[in-house]
Amino acid sequence: MPWLARGMSAALAAVVLLAAGRAQALDAEQRRVKGMLDEMCGRCHAVGTTGQSPNPLAPAFRSFGEKLYDTDMVQRLQDGLTTIHPEMPTFRFNAHDAAAAVNYLRVIQRRR
């Protein structure tokens, strides 16, 4: 059914365009890692550049600011962020994803 395949790729292209339009500032890798963070962290933290954290105790990712530079966040993500609040589950990132996550977090920090 070639018409079906064509329809589906058109729909896919539309979705890709929409996603690209909404997050112009993010490259493919940053969008990938945002998807990961949405899934793993999004039930507590505001992961994007807008919105409130679902858990009022969890800071919005865009508000971390200097924290991302002061501490070795890439290492902490790999070690499992265990130093954090007990309410927060332990996550372990591989080296690649940890670096990508911190890169993303830096990109979304509010400009001051």
Contacting positions for ligand HEC (CB under 6 A): 37, 40-41, 43-45, 55, 57-59, 67, 81, 83-85, 87-89, 91
Compare residues 14 and 57 and give the one whose CB is closer to ligand HEC.
57
CA 23 to chain centre: 12
Compare residues 10 and 57 and give the one whose CB is closer to ligand HEC.
57
Task: Using DSSP, state whether 47 is helix, strand or coil.
Answer: coil
Compare residues 22 and 92 and give the one whose CB is closer to ligand HEC.
92
Residue (of 58, 32, 62) closest to 47 by Cα position: 62
Task: Using DSSP, state whether 23 is helix, strand or coil.
Answer: coil
CA 50 to chain centre: 12
Least distance (Å) between residue 91 CB and ligand HEC: 4
Residue 101 near residue 36, CB atoms below 8 Å: yes
> Number of helices and strands (H, E) in the chain?
5, 0
Compare residues 7 and 89 and give the one whose CB is closer to ligand HEC.
89
